[in-house]
């Protein structure tokens, strides 16, 4: 009979006591360093592209949305975030750079979390509550930075950050489990949890609002027998794309915080599962700027429109940056012949109740049945033939019809401009 197979290599490794070797240390270091390097490269590419977009007026005007500006601040903060993480992973012993890297690491981490949290709050304020937040950007960025500095200063002043004798990396120089946990929670974990929970609540609220908004619009459109407005599709698409930012932060924070908190820092890494968890933490923590860079390149609506505008042939796109009005809107809101007659929710765009005919047009017999407007053309009013006794009537009627038609066209154009301006203002605040 064949002999029974022996234990597998994995089972044998599980039974053997775990030892922290130099090979495992190098593996952990290079996993973290590779993701941090990739993040630095991605952030650099994004910053170069943004610089090219800001050089031209027609593309610079397309980058006014608040969500893009907040994500741009996140990208800028990602440079020291990834750089300091790379430094702390490459250090192999006590160094003054340990405390410096940890200081900027916690500072930029909290700043990014706060800003993405405020981005989700801003999205809820604009979409759900209908508030105007165009002046909030400076408070979002300035408040996030000030709070982040206040949080990280005490640990730096108490000389808490430095070479970690427990894990063998730059982290917390304290060895007592209670003191280590207290500083970790007060400096990072509590604020990460707070920003994640707030962003989660706001994101769920916005998603529910978008679903309910679509259901209401579909009901209105079906009852009014009209097609869906193109601007409503653009608005909803932009909102769904912006929701991606807090969703990514939530996923990354949950994974990294769970991995970090699951390790008993007072004993170090003593099992294979803790070793795998620590490598996961290094990969997730270092790749966060990479994720935001990819989102900005492939998902952000303002950046996508600006890049397409930049790649256009100047001869086909106008090429004249001095006339910024033609490129002013972020989103091109289109009115087709089938939906130009209704606004959002079936609002009538062609309200002619305040238009009054002038002169002899009001004296035309049967005028109430004949003043009807089509979707794109004016239906001629039935005019009885002029008699020899009243020769000036026909010219006066024709002139009055022209005046009414001009007033109607002007009202329709003004309604379109007002709707476009209102949607544009709301889109820029998102």
- CATH number for the domain spanning 189: value is 1.20.1070.10
Average the pLDDT over 307-314 and give the result. Answer: 78
Comparing 9-13, 191-195, 243-247, 401-405, the range with the smallest average pLDDT is 9-13
User: What is each CA distance from 179 to 113, 186, 266, 419, in whole angstroms?
Assistant: 24, 11, 10, 58
Q: Are 127 and 248 within one domain?
A: yes
Query: Which residue among 298, 315, 332 closes a domain?
Result: 315
Q: Is the pLDDT of residue 78 over 60?
A: yes
Residue 176's nearest CA partner among 192, 163, 165, 186 is: 165
DSSP characters over 12-76: HHHHSPP---HHHHHHHHHHHHHHHHHHHHHHHHHHHHHHHHHHSHHHHGGG--HHHHHHHHHHH
Q: How many CB atoms lie within 10 A of CB 28?
A: 22
- Residues forming a β-bridge with 164: 169
Q: Are 292 and 353 within one domain?
A: no
Query: Which residue among 315, 330, 357 closes a domain?
Result: 315
What stretch of H or E contains 162? strand 161-164
Q: Are 118 and 49 within one domain?
A: yes
Q: Are 354 and 311 within one domain?
A: no
Q: Are 149 and 249 within one domain?
A: yes
* 381: containing domain: 349-429
Q: Are 117 and 211 within one domain?
A: yes
Q: Are 258 and 356 within one domain?
A: no
User: How many domains, the chain?
Assistant: 2
Comparing 55-59, 86-90, 155-159, 165-169, the range with the smallest average pLDDT is 165-169
Q: Looking at the domain assignment, is residue 321 inside a domain?
A: no
**pLDDT tens-digit readout, 253-289:** 888 887 777 765 546 677 788 888 888 888 999 999 9
pLDDT band at residue 200 using 50, 70 and 90 as cut-offs: very high
Q: Are 156 and 201 within one domain?
A: yes
Comparing 5-19, 25-39, 64-78, the range with the smallest average pLDDT is 5-19
Token couple for 305 = 């429109």
Q: Looking at the domain assignment, is residue 330 inside a domain?
A: no
pLDDT band at residue 15 using 50, 70 and 90 as cut-offs: low
Q: Looking at the domain assignment, is residue 13 inside a domain?
A: no
Q: Looking at the domain assignment, is residue 83 inside a domain?
A: yes
Q: Are 42 and 146 within one domain?
A: yes
Q: Are 238 and 366 within one domain?
A: no
Question: Which of the pair, 378 or 57, is modelled with greater confidence?
Answer: 57
The alpha-helical segments, DSSP class H, found in 91-189 are 96-127, 137-157, 177-184
């Amino acid at each position: 009979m064949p002999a029974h197979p022996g234990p597998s290599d994995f089972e044998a490794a599980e039974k053997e006591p775990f030892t922290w070797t130099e090979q495992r240390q190098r593996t952990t270091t290079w996993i973290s360093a590779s993701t941090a390097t990739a993040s630095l490269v991605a952030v650099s590419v994004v910053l170069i592209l943004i610089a090219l977009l800001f050089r031209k007026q027609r593309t610079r005007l397309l980058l006014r949305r608040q969500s893009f500006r907040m994500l741009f601040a996140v990208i800028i903060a990602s440079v020291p975030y990834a750089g300091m993480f790379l430094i702390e992973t490459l250090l192999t012993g006590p160094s003054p750079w340990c405390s410096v890297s940890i200081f900027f690491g916690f500072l930029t981490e909290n700043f990014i979390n706060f800003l993405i949290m405020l981005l989700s709050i801003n999205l809820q304020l604009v979409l759900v509550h209908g508030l105007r937040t165009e002046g909030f950007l400076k408070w979002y960025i300035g408040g996030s930075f000030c709070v982040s500095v206040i949080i990280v200063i005490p640990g730096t002043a108490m000389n808490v950050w430095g070479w970690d004798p427990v894990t063998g990396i730059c982290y917390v120089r304290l060895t007592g489990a209670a003191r280590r946990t207290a500083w970790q929670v007060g400096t990072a974990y509590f604020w990460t949890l707070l920003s994640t929970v707030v962003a989660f609540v706001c994101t769920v609220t916005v998603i529910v609002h978008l679903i309910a908004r679509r259901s209401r619009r579909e009901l209105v459109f079906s009852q009014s027998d009209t097609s869906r407005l193109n601007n409503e599709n653009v608005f909803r698409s932009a909102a769904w794309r912006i929701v991606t930012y807090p969703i990514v932060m939530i996923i990354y924070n949950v994974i990294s915080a769970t991995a970090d908190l699951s390790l008993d820092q007072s004993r170090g890494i003593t099992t294979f599962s803790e070793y795998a968890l620590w490598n996961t933490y290094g990969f997730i923590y270092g790749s966060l700027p990479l994720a935001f860079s990819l989102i900005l390149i492939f998902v952000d609506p303002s950046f996508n429109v600006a890049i397409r505008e930049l790649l256009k042939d100047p001869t086909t796109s106008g090429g004249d940056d001095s006339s910024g009005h033609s490129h002013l809107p972020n989103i091109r809101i289109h009115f087709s012949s089938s939906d130009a007659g209704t606004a959002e929710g079936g609002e009538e765009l062609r309200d002619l109740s305040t238009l009054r005919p002038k002169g002899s047009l009001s004296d035309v017999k049967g005028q109430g049945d004949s003043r009807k407007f089509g979707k794109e053309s004016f239906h001629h009013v039935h005019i009885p033939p002029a008699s020899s006794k009243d020769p000036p009537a026909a010219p006066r009627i024709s002139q009055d019809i022209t005046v009414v038609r001009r007033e109607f066209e002007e009202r329709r154009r003004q309604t379109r401009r007002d709707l476009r301006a209102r949607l544009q203002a709301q889109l820029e605040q998102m």
